[in-house]
Amino acid sequence: MIRSGTARTLNTGSDDERSFHLYGSMCEQVRLIEAYVSRSLDVRARARLEAHLFSCDRCRSAVEFELLVERVVGDSARFAQFSRSWH
């Protein structure tokens, strides 16, 4: 089972190649998306990325997607725990 916050990365290529493969964007900030969603960015980097998200549709869409995946995975895990109590 994939846990919430688990990074989805390729095992080959540079960080830029992996980021492009995952998000289809060559923005410099795209490499910060997973850290942003997992809330592991420092305050300054988080503020810079949030400012960037106002002007970059691809990065904003990537963040929205990552947040959706995190929510769905979390909801699925909670449902699985809840449904075990039925048996």
Residue-number span of the structural domain to which 60 is assigned: 15-84
Q: How many domains does the chain have?
A: 1
Give the pair of three-digit tokens for residue 77: 């895990």
CB 19 within 8 A of CB 13: no
pTM of the predicted model over 0.75:
no
Tokens representing 34 are 């997973």
Confidence at 42, pLDDT banded by 50, 70, 90: very high
Residue at 60 is within a domain: yes
pLDDT band at 24 (very low <50, low <70, confident <90, very high): low
78 domain-assigned: yes
Confidence of residue 2 (pLDDT cuts 50, 70, 90): very low
CATH assignment at residue 71: 1.10.10
Please, are residues 33 and 20 in contact by the beta-carbon 8 Å criterion? no
80 found inside a domain: yes
User: Is residue 1 included in any domain, yes or no?
Assistant: no
Residue 54 makes CB contacts below 8 A (sequence gap 6+) with 60
Q: Is residue 24 part of a domain?
A: yes
Structure-token pair, residue 21: 């493969």
Does residue 56 fall inside a structural domain? Answer: yes
Of the candidates 15, 6, 72, the one whose C-alpha atom is nearest the C-alpha of residue 38 is 6
pLDDT tens for residues 44-76?
999 999 999 999 998 999 999 999 998 888 777
pLDDT at residue 87, as a whole number: 56
Classify residue 29: in a domain, yes or no. Answer: yes
**Which residue did the predictor score with more confidence, 20 or 44?**
44
Query: Does 71 reside within a domain?
Result: yes
